[in-house]
Amino acid sequence: MSEYVTKETFDKMREELQHLKGVERPAASRAIAEAREKGDLKENAEYDSAKEAQGMLEAKIKQLEGVIANAKIVDPNTIDTSKVAILTKVTITNLGNNKVMTYQIVGQKEADLKAGKISASSPIGSGLIGKAVGEIVEVQTPTGKMKFQVMSISI
Task: Give 12-62 pLDDT, tens digit per residue.
Answer: 999 999 999 999 999 999 988 888 887 766 677 888 888 899 999 999 999
Distance between alpha carbon 70 and the CA centroid of its chain, in Å? 13
| Confidence (pTM) | 0.66
Q: Which residues of 114-128 are buried (b: 16+ CB within 10 A; e: fewer)?
A: eeebbbbebebbebb
HSE-CB for 22 with a 13 A CA cutoff: 6
Paired sense of beta strands 144-154 and 89-94, if any: antiparallel
Q: What is the DSSP string of 11-56?
A: HHHHHHHHHIIIIIHHHHHHHHHHHHTTS-GGG-HHHHHHHHHHHH
Domains delineated in the chain: 3-73 (1.10.287.180), 77-154 (3.10.50.30)
Q: What is the pLDDT of residues 108-138, one digit of tens each?
A: 878 888 999 999 889 999 999 999 999 999 9
